[in-house]
């Protein structure tokens, strides 16, 4: 009898899980349109609406019909069917042509967890993706939000900007009543019930950083951000607890750290010009707030579940969600080496009362929390200049920070006053400095060293080239996670060597923070100006140094550079690396 019962249970477990289907009815739809971006494309919006703190104008649309949600184990997974017929909303006019949302159809897209909006005549208008979901089972409601609203190629051509296909021009949100069957209970996979916090020993992989796009452009400065998708590739769960969350069963009472611990996302832009790698843009820190846990049988919420080998849960954030003044703060508020946020005194809690304060809205295209890039750093560059962007997550107790990073080479193109960034090569996991000097095969007259200081990771790379009988040396120092910052860079020189054409480059476009070079006996040193708080090299930043001399390069590792440490107890890091001999 016992054997037959177990056999029946095993047979039942082997059957495919029947998905519940929830009708999503009485829907309301909202679109928030990026006013400045559309204006830069020559698109007029009517009626005008007052932009919010992030520069988006909100519009409510009528919605008739229903969507159908697929919910295996009574866990919302995706909208798999149905359609909404839209009415009202704004009109968009460009080059004498006007399009409206009136009579448009919103339906599930051709790709999972996406939506399509087609005009009344059937022509494609928008695709929406990177959905976040909140299901309130007690209120029986579904909120589908933070969806990036992107131009289809057809609409981009109609608007006169074919290069801007797939550019996000707004945000879509759908709220609806959810027909959850009476008495239905969530049945997550058994591995999604009790978190395994481990030692802890976390491992999060950035699977995609895509769709870098402009959000604002003014005064010769543009602001841009990418979308990001990640996955738990480790064996322990990762806490994903929104700022200022109170202890509750849903977040396992803030375990394992006892605080509102969550990952942080940063992104940057670089160029390689005339043999030099230089950083030209750096974002603030985006605070993650919800993991949707797709690709696994786990509920969304405050834990990125590991589940099992090859089955880790995934999460995603659209570029518009990343470029939000509600979530972006200064990098200085996060200790990168530990992944801990200094909440007290932050822009989210300036008076240290452990209560959330609304951070200021963006001050414009040049707001320091955004990744801002000077158009002059992209225009009028030498032939052959290459551009890259990267993104990476800072995760507490991450065992491998380099698989949370990815970079891609792009071609910036200006259409009207809107920059697009078309991929020029496949995305690569790791640090962008690896694209400049290959860490496993640097090649002739190049060298690469990665240093684990015990307090964070740093990479130094160098390239030397013969220029008319002299030698040009270009160094890049990438501070991945060393929080005590660097205040000086010293390169060794052979006796009697003379130097010329010294160069220094940081990311902030502020001359008052530039490091000054000085030649000494057997060395050339750059030092940060004393008393200038923003001058030392912080984590997440790449500084570039260069000079020309008559001395030919040494063998790899036979010379050295020295990095002086800013914060107590001070000290220095000596890096054996190719240099003048």
Residue 16 predicted with pLDDT over 80? no
Residue 260 predicted with pLDDT over 90? yes
Residue 503 predicted with pLDDT over 60? yes
Residue 117 predicted with pLDDT over 80? yes
Give 420-447 pLDDT, tens digit per residue: 999 999 999 999 999 999 999 999 999 9
Provide the 8-state DSSP code for 6.
Answer: H
> Counting Cβ atoms within 10 Å, is residue 49 exposed (0-12), middle (13-18) or buried (19+)?
middle
What is the rounded CA–CA span in Å between residue 580 and residue 447? 12
325 pLDDT tier (thresholds 50, 70, 90): very high
Residue 76 predicted with pLDDT over 80? yes
Spell out the residues 6+ positions from residue 443 whose beta carbon is closer than 8 angstroms to its own: 437
Residue 278 predicted with pLDDT over 50? yes
What is the rounded CA–CA span in Å between residue 498 and residue 19? 74
**Looking at residue 521, what is its pLDDT?**
86
3-state SS assignment for residue 322: helix
**Looking at residue 572, what is its pLDDT?**
98
Residue 11 predicted with pLDDT over 80? no
3-state SS assignment for residue 511: helix
Q: What mean pLDDT is predicted for residues 326-341?
A: 96
Residue 14 predicted with pLDDT over 50? no
* Distances in whole angstroms, Cα of residue 483 to Cα of each of 150, 434, 540, 565, 566: 38, 21, 9, 10, 10
Homologous superfamily in CATH for domain 442-577? Mu homology domain, subdomain B (2.60.40.1170)
Instruction: Dig out the tokens for 343 from the structure.
Output: 């909440």
10 Å Cβ neighbour count for 345?
A: 11
Residue-averaged pLDDT of the chain: 93
Which pTM does this prediction carry?
A: 0.93
**Looking at residue 126, what is its pLDDT?**
97
What is the rounded CA–CA span in Å between residue 369 and residue 346? 13
Q: What mean pLDDT is predicted for residues 368-377?
A: 97
**Looking at residue 470, what is its pLDDT?**
96
42 pLDDT tier (thresholds 50, 70, 90): very high
Instruction: Dig out the tokens for 275 from the structure.
Output: 């043999």
> Is the N-terminal amide bond of 569 cis, ω within 30° of 0?
yes
Q: Are 204 and 230 in contact (CB under 8 A)?
A: yes
**Looking at residue 388, what is its pLDDT?**
98
DSSP 365-405: TT-TTSEEEEGGGTSSPPTT-EEEEEEEEE-TTBS-GGGGE
Q: Are 185 and 441 in contact (CB under 8 A)?
A: no
Instruction: Provide the residue count of the chain.
Output: 581
**Looking at residue 84, what is its pLDDT?**
98
**Looking at residue 97, what is its pLDDT?**
84
* Distances in whole angstroms, Cα of residue 77 to Cα of each of 142, 242, 289: 12, 21, 19
556 pLDDT tier (thresholds 50, 70, 90): confident
Give me the half-sphere count of Cα atoms (radius 13 Å) on the Cβ side of residue 205: 14
287 pLDDT tier (thresholds 50, 70, 90): very high
**Which stretch of 118-127, 175-184, 551-560 has the lowest confidence by average pLDDT?**
551-560
Tell me the sheet residues that pair with 423: 410
Tell me the CA end-to-end span of the chain in Å, nearest whole number. Answer: 84
Q: Are 76 and 23 in contact (CB under 8 A)?
A: no
Element (H, E) at 415: strand 405-415
Spell out the residues 6+ positions from residue 340 whose beta carbon is closer than 8 angstroms to its own: 261, 334, 396
Instruction: Dig out the tokens for 97 from the structure.
Output: 């042509």
**Looking at residue 17, what is its pLDDT?**
52
Residue 155 predicted with pLDDT over 70? yes
**Looking at residue 19, what is its pLDDT?**
75
Higher pLDDT, 162 or 18: 162
């Amino acid at each position: 009898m016992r054997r037959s019962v177990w056999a029946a249970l095993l047979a039942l477990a082997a059957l495919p899980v029947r998905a519940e289907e929830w009708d999503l009815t009485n829907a309301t739809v909202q679109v928030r349109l990026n006013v400045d971006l559309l204006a830069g494309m020559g698109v007029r919006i009517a009626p005008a609406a007052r932009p919010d703190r992030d520069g988006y104008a909100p519009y409510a649309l009528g919605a008739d019909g229903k969507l159908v949600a697929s919910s295996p184990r009574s866990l919302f997974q995706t909208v798999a069917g149905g359609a909404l017929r839209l009415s009202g909303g704004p009109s968009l006019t460009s080059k004498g042509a006007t399009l409206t949302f009136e009579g448009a159809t919103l339906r599930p897209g051709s790709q999972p967890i996406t939506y399509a909006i087609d005009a009344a005549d059937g022509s494609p208008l928008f695709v929406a993706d990177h959905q976040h979901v909140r299901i309130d089972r007690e209120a029986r409601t579904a909120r589908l939000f933070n969806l990036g609203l992107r131009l289809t190629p057809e609409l981009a051509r109609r608007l006169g900007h074919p290069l801007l296909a797939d550019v996000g021009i707004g945000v879509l949100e759908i709220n609806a009543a959810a027909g959850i069957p009476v008495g239905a209970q969530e049945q997550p996979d058994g591995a999604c019930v009790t978190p395994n916090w481990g030692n802890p020993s976390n491992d999060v992989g950035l699977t995609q950083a895509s769709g870098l796009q402009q959000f604002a452009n003014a005064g010769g400065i543009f602001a841009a951000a990418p979308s990001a998708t990640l996955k738990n590739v480790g064996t322990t769960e990762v806490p994903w607890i929104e700022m200022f969350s109170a202890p509750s069963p849903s977040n396992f009472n803030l375990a394992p750290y006892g605080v509102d611990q969550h990952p942080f996302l940063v992104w940057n832009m670089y160029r390689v010009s005339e043999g030099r790698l230089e950083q030209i843009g750096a974002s603030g820190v985006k605070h993650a707030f919800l993991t949707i846990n797709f690709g696994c049988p786990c509920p969304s919420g405050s834990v990125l579940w590991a589940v099992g080998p090859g089955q880790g849960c995934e999460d995603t954030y659209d570029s518009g969600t990343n470029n939000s003044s509600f979530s972006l703060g200064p990098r200085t508020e996060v200790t990168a080496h530990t992944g801990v946020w200094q909440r007290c005194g932050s822009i989210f809690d300036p008076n240290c009362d452990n209560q959330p304060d609304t951070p200021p809205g963006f001050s414009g295209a040049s707001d320091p929390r955004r990744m801002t890039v000077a158009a002059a750093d992209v225009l009028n560059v030498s032939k052959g200049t290459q551009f890259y962007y990267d993104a990476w997550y800072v995760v507490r107790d991450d065992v491998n920070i380099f698989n949370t990073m990815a970079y891609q080479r792009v071609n910036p193109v200006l259409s009207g006053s809107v920059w697009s960034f078309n991929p020029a090569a496949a995305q690569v996991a790791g640090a962008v400095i690896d694209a400049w000097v290959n860490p496993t095969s640097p090649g002739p007259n190049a060298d690469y060293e990665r240093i684990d200081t015990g307090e964070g990771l740093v990479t130094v790379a160098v390239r030397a080239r013969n220029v008319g009988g002299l030698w040009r040396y270009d160094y890049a120092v990438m501070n991945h996670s060393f929080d005590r910052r660097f205040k000086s860079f010293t390169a060794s020189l052979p006796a009697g060597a003379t130097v010329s054409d010294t160069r220094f480059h940081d990311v902030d476009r502020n001359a008052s923070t530039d490091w000054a070079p000085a030649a000494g006996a057997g060395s050339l040193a750059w030092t940060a100006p004393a008393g200038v708080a923003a001058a030392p090299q912080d984590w997440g930043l790449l500084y570039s140094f260069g000079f020309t001399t008559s001395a030919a390069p040494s063998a790899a590792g036979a010379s050295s550079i020295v990095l002086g440490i800013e914060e107590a107890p001070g000290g220095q890091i000596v890096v054996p690396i190719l240099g003048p001999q």
